[in-house]
Each structure stands twice: as C-alpha cells, then as structure tokens.
Amino acid sequence: MTGTARGTVPPTSPSTTATVRTADASAPATGTLGVRLDEATRGLPAPLAVVDLDALDANATDLVHRAGGTPVRVASKSVRVRHVLHDVLARPGFAGVMAYSVREAVWLAREGVDDVLLGYPSVDTGALDELAADPRAAAAVTLMVDDVAQADLAAAAARAHGTTLRVCLDVDASLRVRLGPLRAHLGVRRSPVHSAADAAVLAAAVEARGPLVVRGVMFYEAQVAGLPDTSPAVRAVKRLSVADLAVRRAAVVEAVQDAVGHSLDLVNSGGSGSVETSVSDATVTEVTAGSGLFVPTLFDRYRAFEPRPAAFFGLDVVRVPGPGWATVFGGGYVASGPAVKTRLPRPVWPGGLALTSREGAGEVQTPLRLSSGADLRVGDRVWFRHAKAGEVMERFSDVHLVRGTSVEATVPTYRGEGRTFG
C-alpha cells in the first residue's frame, strides 16, 4: 500500500535500531532528545506537534517482534495521520487498519488501504449507504456489530445497492468473576455478547439478514491491553483474563462457525499492552496495536515492552509571571477518560517543570511551576507528551516528522486533511 501526503517525501523504511531510548519513560525526556527537537524545529511556530521517526521505527519493529509472526493491524485512532498509517502499513508484519468511523473507513479505502476493520458499531445510515454504494470500499471494509439492530441498518444499505457487506462480531472480553453471591465485571462495558451461545445466536441472526456475511470475531481485552502494570492486583486480573479468554475465545469461534456454516478468516484480539498474550492463543489470526507506535504517558508503566516516546508537542514560553514560574501558550490538550491527573499532558523537557494543581493545562495558556535550578525565559520552548496517542493530533493541522536534528517531512493530520470523524 502506498500513499503520500501533500508535497511530502514518501514514507521512510524502518530502521532496526533506535537512536533514542529512555531508560525510564515515566521520567523527563533526556536532554539529548530535547536539544534535538529544539534544533529540528528552530524557526517553526508553536504550538506544534512532532513525531520522532527514530523512536517510531524502533516501536514498530518492537511490535512486530512481540507479535511473533502474527499480523499487526494498526489502530487508526491512535495515529490519526494518514501518512504515518501508510508508512507503517508498508512495513513487514503490519496488515490492515482498525478504523473507528465508517466515514473514515470509506475514506481510507479510497486512499488505498485495502483492509479496514471497524472497531466499533455504527448507526450512521448515510455512511453505511456510501459504503454499500462504493464497490471498492465495500470490498475493503468490514463492519462491526454486537446487536441485530446495527445489522439491520447495514443490511438495508446493502440491499439498496445490491451488494454484500462483511461484518465482524464484537465479543465482550471482560472478566466476569463470581464468588458465592458476589459478582464482579472486570473490564470495560462494551459488547452485550459474552458467551459462545450469545455469539452463535447473533451470528445466525446477522446472516439471516441476507446481504451480510460474518467474516470474523473480535475480542478487546481492555483490562489486559489498556491497564499499566501498577500493582500485583492488576497483574493478577490480567493473568485470570488471559486464562479465561484462552478457553472462551476458541469456544466462541467454534460456535459461530457452526451457526453460520462456514469458517471465519478473522479472529482479532488485543492491543499494544497485550500483544504477547493475545498471540499465544492459536485461535487468534491478528492483533491490533496503535498506541505502541507513539507511546503516550498512559503506556509508561507496562512491563511487556520498553516504552520509547515518539510523539511530542511543543509550546513556547510567552511570559514569566515571577521567580519559579513560566507560562506557555496553549496546552489544554486533556485526554478523554476520567477527569484525573493521568489524563493531563506532561512537560518533559526541559526537566524540573510541572503543571499546577489550580490551573492544570490551560485553554489558551498553561502556567508551569519550575523546580529549584530550572530556568525558562520568554521565547524558550517546552516539550510535552500527551496522555493518549493519536488523540492529540486532533489539535493540530500538521505534524513534523523529525529524524535526528532535522524535519524530514511535514504532513497533515486527519484534521489537516479536513477529516474529523468524532
């Protein structure tokens, strides 16, 4: 697959080693990294976003190594830069995109991505109609369903255009624990389909709609892939979840195949934090990863891999309100999820900087508290990391791809291409 953004150089080939590594990604970025980013972006106005290609290369290589030969599907929501998606897909070991919107999936298919799996159900009837009306997109895209109501909308669009649409069943991968009268649901509240029997009933009902074919099943074990290894309790939940899925996943696949009368060619599982455990199950045909490419702060405390932060944003100091303080322009890029400290961006270069508890990351400006010995002046640049991966790209029209001390290319984000999908 190929594709270059406006006026940019083609995607680069991956390198096998990274020139940027942090021994502890939860600590401030190294001085070497900050100096490189300063030099590479000198003269460019802030706020600005950058991706360190050396770190990206190393992260991509690491994901493929961890997958051990199982194809890695790229989660687009964790990238949101089409140029980077094409670059990663051109590397051995990666295959296909997991999109988060039907409109996004149709757009990517038209831009040359020939295998797009929707990660979420949709009730966007206009987008479903557009998908069904486009033979190229219909052949490339697989929809996600966990309810017959979603299947009915897809089937109506398919019948209107005389086409067949492929679908995947979203199976709840949470861990359900029962101890006497006590019950616990460990994981996200995602799909109502949990058991093999649930999946078989839904699969049969979907294919009874006529122009829909069940291609596969997906399990996203958020309690394994999306939680850092912060405590023995968390690690115990992960072990129990992996053991549960090793049995339940195979049972679901068998039940669905019996219900529809044909084999499945897609069993998707995992995320950046659970690649190894997902691929250890022979039933799994592919894993999904996205955050592991950019490595945001929420992925700093995983034991499964070495975090190499690759995405940063830079803000300039516009005033110094007093000794021990500096204020940068912009910065209110708070990640989705619970309104807690871990969802805030983190200043990482220069060292010794912290957000304030009163103002946090500001709408237009962000005050920073300087530790003893730290010094910032008007015009200095401060580098931050976001709590999530691709989400921050929604705040920028362009992203600068840095290698060494120079900008190798400047490419548009989804937003820069006029594409916002929610």
Please say whether the beta carbons of 264 and 215 come within 8 A: yes
pTM: 0.86
- In this structure, the strands spanning 48-52 and 311-319 are antiparallel
User: Which H or E run contains 287?
Assistant: strand 286-289
How would DSSP label each residue in 347-361? EEESSSEEE-TTT-S
Which single residue is written with the structure tokens 């309100």?
Answer: 321
Q: Which CATH class is domain 31-53+305-417?
A: mainly beta
| Residue pLDDT tens, the chain, 422 long | 333 332 333 333 333 222 222 323 333 345 688 999 999 999 999 999 999 999 999 999 999 999 999 999 999 999 999 999 999 999 999 999 999 999 999 999 999 999 999 999 999 999 999 999 999 999 999 999 999 999 999 999 999 999 999 999 999 877 666 666 666 655 566 778 889 999 999 999 999 998 999 999 998 865 554 555 565 665 666 667 666 788 788 999 999 999 999 999 999 998 888 888 888 888 999 999 999 999 999 888 777 778 899 999 999 999 999 999 999 999 999 999 888 999 999 999 999 999 999 899 999 999 999 998 789 999 999 999 999 999 999 999 999 999 999 999 999 999 999 999 98
Query: CA-to-CA distance for 386 and 102, rounded, in angstroms?
Result: 26
Are the C-beta atoms of residues 107 and 100 closer than 8 Å to each other?
no
Are 366 and 356 spatial neighbours (Cβ–Cβ below 8 Å)? Answer: no
CA distances from 341 to 27, 60, 122, 187, 233 (A): 16, 28, 31, 21, 21
Class of domain 101-295: alpha beta
The bridge status of strand 48-52 relative to strand 398-403 is parallel
Q: How far apart are CA 407 and CA 49, in angstroms?
A: 12
**DSSP code at position 197:** H
